[in-house]
Amino acid sequence: MCGIVGYVGSRNAAPIIVDGLRKLEYRGYDSAGIAIHDGKGIEIVRALGKLVKLSDALEKRPLNGTTGIGHTRWATHGRPSEVNAHPHAAGPVAVVHNGIIENHVAVRAELEGQGIKFLSDTDTEIIAHLIHRELDQGAPNLFEAVRKALGRVVGAYAIAVVSRAEPDVVVAARFGSPLVVGIGEDEMLCGSDVTALLSHTRNMVFLEDGDVVELKQNGYRIETVNGTAVDRKVKRIDWSAVQAEKAGFKHFMLKEIHEQPDAIEATLRGRIDLQNGDVHAGEMGVTPEFAKTLGRVYFVACGTSHHATIAGRYWIEKIARVPSVTELASEVRYRDPIFFPNDLVVAVSQSGETADTIAAVKAAKAAGAQVLALSNVLDSALPRMADGALYTHAGPEIGVASTKCFTTQLAALLLLAIYLGRQRGALSKEQGQEILQALWETPSHMREVLGDADYMHVIAKKLTHAKDVLFLGRGLGFPIALEGALKLKEISYAHAEGYAAGEMKHGPIALIDENLPVFVICPRDSHYDKTLSNMQEVRAREGQVIAIATKGDEAVMELAQHMVWLPKVNDDVLPLLTVLPLQLISYYVANLKGNDVDQPRNLAKTVTVE
Ligand code: AGP
């Protein structure tokens, strides 16, 4: 996730673009850059780190001109560095991009074969070269060149482009990544969201996938990539600046909850080989040979990431048939753990900077184990230490309570299990296809569940005075019970326990009375009958059951006070859905209590201390 801004008009473009980028910094802050047409040519200034570094650079080297583009980066391909910072130039054009180009390796090889030299490690640079090639091959203008070049690109993008030959034009386009056009007075803008544009105009056009737009000072035109002219409605946006930064949501956490379907799509993009029921290994560093011979998958992680690894362990054992354990990193580092050289140690961490997880990885490396880092932050400490990386590509998560980073970790872990299963021959092509198909359909099922948010609000209202809450689940429902409890306690400050439903009779059952709300994760999976019995045990003691169940389940309906319905899906993708109502309910409870949802008391987003 990156932020892009484009401007063409009569004012000096650079301050307007930098101001827009400041509003988009929540989308990434690894580097920033700007390209301005100064009437003679295109001048580019880029800087590693937050936007303030770009501002400093612009003070030393001011850029003047009325047309330009800018970018704030969340690195996905190529480490954060000035060389990988956008804009990327090729011949007369400069490009900024938000998204992931899936076929960049093949296109890059083709262009290199034609003698083109690449300066960065980014996927974006191919777009600049493709546009340049179209211009060289006779495209009449930048708009046509961009349209044609995008015909070669597979993946997700929002781009903005300027060209030396057209000092008063910005061309922009989107597919799979957001892009908004702002219609000002004697000026036109574009940006990744309305926040970047609101101080200049409230009249916006939300581009659709496949749209290419040409912006000039006094107007714009839109065509599809295929060359059909289209008309998009102009909408008036009345949000305040603060509302806009959160895309109209009250808190970042709520926004991030709703971003999950898109985030999962980003995790899956370019990794699924549906035809062969397989997964592309990418940068994982796990060769097919090692996958065949490894003796154990050993997960280390903390907090929410640890919960994801419990699901990971289930999948690895079930799908890849490899022994697997998961340990809290904070425990591993102070024990005398045993690692073997044929262990694959998988460190799962949103930030990639968690001190306990780093210490556990050091112990694993010292013992000669191979380490894979599963992280959201490119080139953070853990991926740098590890032998390979599996990035979730969820984009920055601002809310301290992890939501989209948890579900994208789940998706990535399921991909890892399928990859290992296929290499080891434990999973047939058809079985692989079945799970991958289910995973592929998950974002649309997530949208369906998130569509019931208002009902989660109703349930939350009943829980605002609850002092204790129990969460129960079996199998893949167990880590979700743990995660549901963690979400509720960290932002609503209610005491909550997550338990394996089968453990209830070994202690927590003593807590149950008419005052105890009990969430039971009870979809129609292979544990269904057993979990239903646990639900009956709760009801027999007057506990208040809130069930997360499969649509239309009458047996559950008879027992539960509140029902949250899920679509019927493949068992293996269930945790990506069952957690959604729990995230939403926790959010609403905390909000109803007036808590600081995005920055709950005593917590930090990245825990770089013991
Ligand atoms: C979860 O909502 C918390 N933010 C916390 O438990 C978090 O998952 C934990 O601190 C681990 O962080 P990491 O994924 O960045 O390593």
* Domain count within the chain: 3
311 within some domain: yes
Q: How far is the CA of 606 from the centre of ligand 1 (A)?
A: 7
Same domain, yes or no, for 331 and 421? yes
Task: Specify the ligand 1 atom closest to the Cα of 402.
Answer: 2
Q: List active site positions.
A: 2, 605
pLDDT greater than 90 at residue 108: yes
CB of 376 closer than 6 angstroms to any ligand 1 atom:
no
List the residue whose alpha carbon is closest to atom 10 of ligand 1: 303
The neighbouring-strand residues paired with 332 are none
d(CA 194, CA 472): 41
Same domain, yes or no, for 433 and 463? no
CB of 350 closer than 6 angstroms to any ligand 1 atom:
yes
The neighbouring-strand residues paired with 326 are 299
603 within some domain: no
Considering 449, 478, 499, which residue would you say is the last residue of a domain? Answer: 449
Residues 127-169 have pLDDT tens digits of: 999 999 999 999 999 999 999 999 999 998 999 999 999 999 9
CB of 303 closer than 6 angstroms to any ligand 1 atom:
yes
604 within some domain: no
Which pLDDT does position 87 carry in this prediction? 98
598 within some domain: no
Q: How far is the CA of 332 from the centre of ligand 1 (A)?
A: 17
Task: Specify the ligand 1 atom closest to the Cα of 403.
Answer: 2
Q: What percent of the chain has pLDDT over 90?
A: 87
pTM exceeds 0.95 for this model? no
Same domain, yes or no, for 227 and 82? yes
Q: Which of 251, 302, 601 to probe ligand 1 with, by most ligand atoms within 8 A of CB?
A: 302
Considering 211, 244, 277, which residue would you say is the last residue of a domain? Answer: 244
Q: How far is the CA of 599 from the centre of ligand 1 (A)?
A: 13
Task: Specify the ligand 1 atom closest to the Cα of 354.
Answer: 16
Residues 50-82 have pLDDT tens digits of: 899 999 999 999 999 999 999 999 888 888 899
pLDDT greater than 70 at residue 242: no
pLDDT band, very low/low/confident/very high, at 239 (cuts 50, 70, 90): confident
Which pLDDT does position 116 carry in this prediction? 95
Q: What percent of the chain has pLDDT over 70?
A: 99
Same domain, yes or no, for 17 and 160? yes
pLDDT band, very low/low/confident/very high, at 27 (cuts 50, 70, 90): confident
- Average pLDDT, stretch 95-116? 94
Which pLDDT does position 4 carry in this prediction? 95
Q: Which of 414, 416, 418, 417 is nearest to 442 (CA)?
A: 414
Q: Which of 575, 538, 532, 580 is nearest to 556 (CA)?
A: 532
607 within some domain: no
- Average pLDDT, stretch 442-453? 96
**Residue with the larger pLDDT of the pair 464 and 282:** 464
Residues 314-353 have pLDDT tens digits of: 999 999 999 999 999 999 988 889 999 999 999 999 999 8
44 within some domain: yes
**Contact (CB, 8 A) for 312 and 344:** no
Number of H helices, E strands in the chain: 20, 27
Same domain, yes or no, for 482 and 400? no
pLDDT greater than 90 at residue 605: no
List the residue whose alpha carbon is closest to atom 16 of ligand 1: 349
Residues 357-370 have pLDDT tens digits of: 999 999 999 999 99
CB of 357 closer than 6 angstroms to any ligand 1 atom:
yes
Considering 212, 244, 276, which residue would you say is the last residue of a domain? Answer: 244
List the residue whose alpha carbon is closest to atom 6 of ligand 1: 303
Q: How far is the CA of 590 from the centre of ligand 1 (A)?
A: 18
600 within some domain: no
CB of 124 closer than 6 angstroms to any ligand 1 atom:
no
pLDDT band, very low/low/confident/very high, at 610 (cuts 50, 70, 90): low
Q: Which of 309, 327, 354 to probe ligand 1 with, by most ligand atoms within 8 A of CB?
A: 354
Structure tokens at 183: 């219609």
Domain that holds residue 481: 453-592
Structure tokens at 327: 């340990």
HSE-CB at 243 with a 13 A cutoff on CA atoms is 6
- Average pLDDT, stretch 299-313? 98
Task: Specify the ligand 1 atom closest to the Cα of 405.
Answer: 14
List the residue whose alpha carbon is closest to atom 2 of ligand 1: 401
Domain CATH for 78: 3.60.20.10
Same domain, yes or no, for 230 and 259? no
pLDDT greater than 70 at residue 419: yes
Domain CATH for 409: 3.40.50.10490
Same domain, yes or no, for 321 and 434? yes
CB of 304 closer than 6 angstroms to any ligand 1 atom:
yes
Same domain, yes or no, for 349 and 498? no
Same domain, yes or no, for 131 and 267? no
Same domain, yes or no, for 264 and 409? yes
185 within some domain: yes
CB of 607 closer than 6 angstroms to any ligand 1 atom:
yes
Q: How far is the CA of 19 from the centre of ligand 1 (A)?
A: 31
Q: How far is the CA of 592 from the centre of ligand 1 (A)?
A: 24
d(CA 359, CA 381): 11
pLDDT greater than 80 at residue 585: yes
- Which amino acid belongs to residue 359? A
Same domain, yes or no, for 27 and 89? yes
Residue 441: in which H helix or E strand, if any?
helix 429-450
Same domain, yes or no, for 168 and 67? yes
